[in-house]
């Protein structure tokens, strides 16, 4: 199997003192899902006062083990859903079911073309990010629900090299300073890398997943093709990881994409685990990314970017939920100055 291309999503939890005792409970996890992309046009620049350098490259990616391949091969995916399962899916309310799969090749070709064209000219951008991070646990007396609000500056840099398109995404504080461990130590869970969500549907990735056309559904007053996808464990190249302590496991996904029937822009993608990882007590991981048109300051074109994102993870009986909101998009340029030594 070829090496993976994915991204790391960091989850941190500090539960503090409960009413039952004063022991400090600390739980850390590293969750990884795919960079899934937005569309874009044009390239102009703007300056941030204190630009931050992107993080260093991650450790070599994990590979699927034979036992993990077997777990995912046994999974029942949405590709094989019965009419009853489709009817019961909460994401498919008021769906007009497809009578056949005749339109699927055309939809995949058009959405792939649209995304590839826009990715080619994607500029470097920055925006404001608000994250509401929440923890729900019945196992902690007196602390069933905790909530925190955090604000960041979010940077997105396209990575055009290689055969698989991707984005580098990272955060700074509101003054442009890089975040360190201490500045995010009080965050329950911090998730990221949503800009490239559409890459599940890119021409490069379509060869490594199974697809199904579910029908037509209207969201945000737009008629959309609803396409389901499930990663093939024996062929997949782009994988995610879930890491806890010093151990990591590969996570494969399935999901639904809502594709505008006129423009073939991706309006929404919802993903969840291809199979629960009961071997590590990872019960579920669901992400919903909503894309909207945005015009960054100083830029004449329109980009399709994530504006609202929700991530829910159930791990060892604890539910984590992050709600992200992105705004105030602008073009980003890193400037450097060399000063003589005094």
- For the chain, give every domain's residue range: 9-331
Three-state DSSP state, 109: helix
Q: What was the pLDDT predicted at 192?
A: 81
pLDDT averaged over every residue in the chain: 78
Quick one: average pLDDT of 199-209?
91
Mean pLDDT, rounded, for 235-264: 86
Write the pLDDT tens digit of every residue in 7-64. Answer: 333 333 332 333 333 323 333 333 333 222 222 222 222 223 333 444 444 445 568 8
Inter-residue contact 10 to 30 (CB < 8 Å): yes
SS3 assignment, position 119: helix
Task: State the DSSP H helix or E strand holding residue 312, giving kind and residue range, or none if neither.
Answer: strand 303-315
Q: Find out whether 208 and 235 touch, Cβ atoms under 8 Å.
A: yes
pLDDT score of 10: 35
Q: How far apart are the first and last CA of the chain?
A: 54
List phi, psi (to 5°) of 204: -65, -30
The pTM score is: 0.80
């Amino acid at each position: 199997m070829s090496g993976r291309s994915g991204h790391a999503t960091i989850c941190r939890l500090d539960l503090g003192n409960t009413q039952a005792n004063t022991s400090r409970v600390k739980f850390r996890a590293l969750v990884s899902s795919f960079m899934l992309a937005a569309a874009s046009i044009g390239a102009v620049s703007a300056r941030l006062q204190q630009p931050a350098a992107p993080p260093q490259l991650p450790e070599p990616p994990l590979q699927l083990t034979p036992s993990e391949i077997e777990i995912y091969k046994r999974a029942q995916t949405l590709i094989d859903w019965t009419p009853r399962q489709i009817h019961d899916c909460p994401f498919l309310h008021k769906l007009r079911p497809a009578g056949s799969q005749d339109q699927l090749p055309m939809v995949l070709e058009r959405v792939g073309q649209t995304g590839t064209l826009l990715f080619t000219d994607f500029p470097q951008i920055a925006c404001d990010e608000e994250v509401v991070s929440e923890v729900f646990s019945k196992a902690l007396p007196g602390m069933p629900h905790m909530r925190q609000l955090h604000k960041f500056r979010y940077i997105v840099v396209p990575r055009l090299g290689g055969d698989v398109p991707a984005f580098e995404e990272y955060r700074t504080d509101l003054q442009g300073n890089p975040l360190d461990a201490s500045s995010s130590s009080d965050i329950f869970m911090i998730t990221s890398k949503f800009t490239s969500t559409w890459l599940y549907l890119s021409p490069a990735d379509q060869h490594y997943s199974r697809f199904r056309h579910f029908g037509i559904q209207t969201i945000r007053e737009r008629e959309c093709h609803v396409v389901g996808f499930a990663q093939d464990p024996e062929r997949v190249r782009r994988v995610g990881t879930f890491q806890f302590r010093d151990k990591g496991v590969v996570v494969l996904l399935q999901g639904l994409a809502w594709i505008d029937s006129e423009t073939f822009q991706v309006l929404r993608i919802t993903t969840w685990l291809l199979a629960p990882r009961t071997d590590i007590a990872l019960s579920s991981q669901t992400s919903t990314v909503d894309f909207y048109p945005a015009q960054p300051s100083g830029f004449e074109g329109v980009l399709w970017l994530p504006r609202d994102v929700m991530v829910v993870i159930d791990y060892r009986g604890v539910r984590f939920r992050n709600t992200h909101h992105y705004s105030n998009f602008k073009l980003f340029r890193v400037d450097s100055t060399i000063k003589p030594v005094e």
